[in-house]
Amino acid sequence: MDPIEIIGLIAATLTTSAFVPQVVKTWKTKSTKDISLTMYSAFFLGTMLWLYYGYEHQSLAIMLANGITGILVIFMLVLKIRHK
């Protein structure tokens, strides 16, 4: 595999999995005071458009990365709305 594509995969893994520790932290503390609802709403909308973009380009990497990020961001939105 092209080394640049491997870098792209590592980059995608990092920017997707980055949300895991935030979800875990918020899940544990139930505290969302410092979390911006606007950020996660805009980010969710963005990942859904990326998902469509990936589908149109038949790019499994873009679809996978944004599908997983979208699910993690939904978790954050639910936690934020539930624990205002």
Give the binding site for its own copies (CB under 8 A).
4, 7-8, 10-15, 17-22, 24-26, 29, 31-36, 38-40, 42-43, 45-47, 49-50, 52-53, 56-57
Provide the minimum distance between the beta carbon of 72 and its own copies in the complex, in angstroms, as a whole number: 10
Nearest residue (CB) to its own copies, 53 versus 81: 53
Give the nearest distance from C-beta 67 to its own copies in angstroms.
13
DSSP state letters, 61-78: HHHHHHHHHHHHHHHHHH
The Cβ of residue 78 has, within 10 Å, a number of other Cβ atoms equal to 13
64 Cβ contact list (under 8 Å, min separation 6): 12
